[in-house]
Chain A
């Protein structure tokens, strides 16, 4: 390696480290804050280096808030959203990609169009709808509007379109119908993208704030991101506790990310149109 190349590499490495440090600092700060006492957090002596290891805020949020409830709500709603979105998206994409029926193109146009409407624009009508259905403060109320994820259909359709036609014909000649085609051939062939889409849908559902914040008003039914807002109450902001809840809330997603890192990156790239 030439000297110039080595210097270039060193500069790039330093820049990357600086970038990583900038990115990780808020997380680090949240952690340092969460292990301090509330008094210490707001005192002038609080520096960058952790100077105490106080788990009081963690104990407090675990036992004095509805954190476990929020966990439960987040897990149940996110898992149901993930399963329903993936299964329905896959079936819809399969039909659009492989079956010939009148109105197919129009239907796909509708899917594409729905992709272009921001969810924020719909919250008022969705709220009114959920209210008339009596779904305010229920899991159903949190879940239903989040089941519309057109990007899953679009990505699946692209992948199904790419399966060679002969594969389908071989199954037809072997005596298989649409069920066999989808679940025994198309799905296993696209297992990679299925896990990727499932993980990203789960993360999106877990992090969803606006809609659950609107549709849930009782503390019992809140999901974690909404629950965090409850930690500052009439007594002011409790920074240490706030950060503890935030870190605990982010943990499942962070774990999922660490385990499925490659798949998640793949899914983000595909669904943002970089690849696919």
Chain B
């Protein structure tokens, strides 16, 4: 059963179309993440599902029911805002009880549901406090608690961790993952942080300019991106892109003569048709797939970031293209050294001139 379904959804603000024909499906109980750079329309899409923005055309379904023209409160969704949007004049208890009281729920039911949410979120000791007396993490938990008591079909999170410091973000991220496991509801989460997307999602939707670029399990998107944008957006440090053109081929492989690498070439595996000789191509290689070898692309190491278990070499080719290399289990100091880089053909992804992946 599907949790949330979007069919050919469009949204325009005046003449500007910000969501362009988006169709997607998130299964019931799944954790879906909309990720993309700022201005890509991910928040607008979430707000359309919530009913806070009208849908210009297309339809939105929640658990098989068409809610495109249904009032926000009747859709069975609850939203957690980036700014938390807690009612500052009410206590934590009153904040969480607000929607139940509006729905004229019995006093005992309000007590019971707020207590249960407070227990899940470890807020029992703070129920009498005002939001201003809480830390950022606690406020975020109250915002989530407010969503939980409504027992929604779908939880919507709009960049909920953006206002927290780095340590707290990691902690809250884990708590959210645990919460999802525990209550098993459908959740949609918007973020521009691909680490959050990778760690939380059952399914990621990468958006750009109002179009879903690719949807799939995090690891699918990481290993097998459909285009250069997805390849570059998912993964940190980002994938290296080396421009070049097709030169020679054979045995399911294509050779790419690199433009900015002093005439060096690299081989990539291609199962499909091989592009004609001279076609403009871009090779995409993840930092962990680049090896320091005796021959290959000549580069100069400009800077080394040593994180202990892993180190990143920031290198540059003679013509100025930057290549980041991830190394593990070595203590060699290569700072300032001239080295050669290479990669195995199965780890080199090929993109055409338009940025589409060739497989």
Give the residue of A164, A173, A189 whose beta carbon is less than 8 angstroms from that of B89.
A189
Contact indicator per residue, chain A 213-229, by CB within 8 Å of chain B (1) or not (0):
00000000000000000
Give the residue of A170, A180, A185, A191 whose beta carbon is less than 8 angstroms from that of B79.
A170
Q: How many residues of B contact A (CB 8 A)?
A: 21
Tell me the nearest residue of chain A to B86, going by C-beta: A170
Tell me the nearest residue of chain A to B103, going by C-beta: A175
Give the residue of A166, A172, A174, A191 whose beta carbon is less than 8 angstroms from that of B98.
A174
User: Which of B70-78, B199-207, B248-256 faces chain A?
Assistant: B70-78
Contact indicator per residue, chain A 226-264, by CB within 8 Å of chain B (1) or not (0):
000000000000000000000000000000000000000
Give the docked Cα–Cα distance between A172 and B103 (Å).
Answer: 12
A175 touches B102 (CB 8 A): yes
Inter-chain contact total with CB atoms closer than 8 Å: 50
B52 touches A172 (CB 8 A): yes
Q: Which residues of A contact B79 (CB under 8 A)?
A: 169-170, 173
Q: Which residues of A contact B89 (CB under 8 A)?
A: 188-189, 191
Give the docked Cα–Cα distance between A164 and B83 (Å).
Answer: 9
Interface status of B222 (Cβ within 8 A of chain A): no
Q: Which residues of B contact A176 (CB under 8 A)?
A: 73, 102
Give the residue of B52, B73, B83 whose beta carbon is less than 8 angstroms from that of A174.
B73
A173 touches B77 (CB 8 A): yes
Give the docked Cα–Cα distance between A188 and B89 (Å).
Answer: 7
Interface status of A167 (Cβ within 8 A of chain B): yes
CB distance from B319 to the nearest CB of A (A): 48
B102 touches A174 (CB 8 A): yes
Interface of A is mostly: helix
Q: Name the residue in A173, A176, A188 with the highest tally of chain B Cβ atoms < 10 Å from its Cβ.
A: A173
Interface status of B312 (Cβ within 8 A of chain A): no
Interface status of B166 (Cβ within 8 A of chain A): no
Q: Which residues of A contact B229 (CB under 8 A)?
A: none
Give the docked Cα–Cα distance between A175 and B103 (Å).
Answer: 7
Give the residue of B78, B85, B102 whose beta carbon is less than 8 angstroms from that of A166.
B85
B83 touches A173 (CB 8 A): no
Give the docked Cα–Cα distance between A166 and B102 (Å).
Answer: 18
Interface status of B88 (Cβ within 8 A of chain A): yes
Give the docked Cα–Cα distance between A188 and B85 (Å).
Answer: 15
Q: Which residues of B contact A166 (CB under 8 A)?
A: 81-83, 85
Contact indicator per residue, chain B 27-50, by CB within 8 Å of chain A (1) or not (0):
000000000000000000000001
Q: Which residues of A contact B77 (CB under 8 A)?
A: 173
Give the docked Cα–Cα distance between A152 and B87 (Å).
Answer: 24
Contact indicator per residue, chain A 147-170, by CB within 8 Å of chain B (1) or not (0):
000000000000000001011011
Q: Which residues of B contact A188 (CB under 8 A)?
A: 89
Q: Which residues of B contact A180 (CB under 8 A)?
A: 102
Give the docked Cα–Cα distance between A173 and B78 (Å).
Answer: 7
Within 170-195 of A, Cβ neighbours of B (below 8 Å) are at 170, 172-176, 180, 185, 188-189, 191
A175 touches B85 (CB 8 A): no
B102 touches A169 (CB 8 A): no
CB distance from B48 to the nearest CB of A (A): 13
> With A169-B52, A169-B79 in contact, is A189–B88 under 8 Å at CB?
yes
Within 123-151 of B, Cβ neighbours of A (below 8 Å) are at 146, 150
B50 touches A173 (CB 8 A): yes
Give the docked Cα–Cα distance between A153 and B88 (Å).
Answer: 23
Q: Which residues of B contact A189 (CB under 8 A)?
A: 87-89
Give the docked Cα–Cα distance between A167 and B83 (Å).
Answer: 9
CB distance from A59 to the nearest CB of B (A): 49
Q: Which residues of B contact A173 (CB under 8 A)?
A: 50-52, 72-73, 77-79, 99
> With A180-B102, A188-B89 in contact, is A172–B73 under 8 Å at CB?
yes
A174 touches B85 (CB 8 A): no
Q: Name the residue in A164, A169, A185 with the highest tally of chain B Cβ atoms < 10 Å from its Cβ.
A: A169
CB distance from A227 to the nearest CB of B (A): 42
Q: Which residues of A contact B98 (CB under 8 A)?
A: 174
Give the docked Cα–Cα distance between A170 and B83 (Å).
Answer: 11
Within 254-290 of B, Cβ neighbours of A (below 8 Å) are at none
10 example contacts (A-B, Cβ-Cβ < 8 A) are as follows A166-B81, A167-B87, A169-B81, A172-B73, A174-B98, A174-B102, A174-B146, A175-B102, A188-B89, A189-B89
Residues of B within 8 A of A (CB): 50-52, 72-73, 77-79, 81-83, 85, 87-89, 98-99, 102-103, 146, 150
The 9 A-B residue pairs with the shortest CB-CB distance in the complex, in nearest-first order: A175-B73, A166-B85, A174-B99, A170-B85, A188-B89, A166-B81, A175-B102, A173-B72, A166-B83
**Contacts A169-B52, A174-B150 supplied; 14 other A-B pairs, CB < 8 Å:** A167-B85, A169-B50, A169-B79, A170-B81, A170-B146, A173-B73, A174-B73, A174-B98, A174-B99, A175-B103, A176-B73, A180-B102, A188-B89, A189-B88
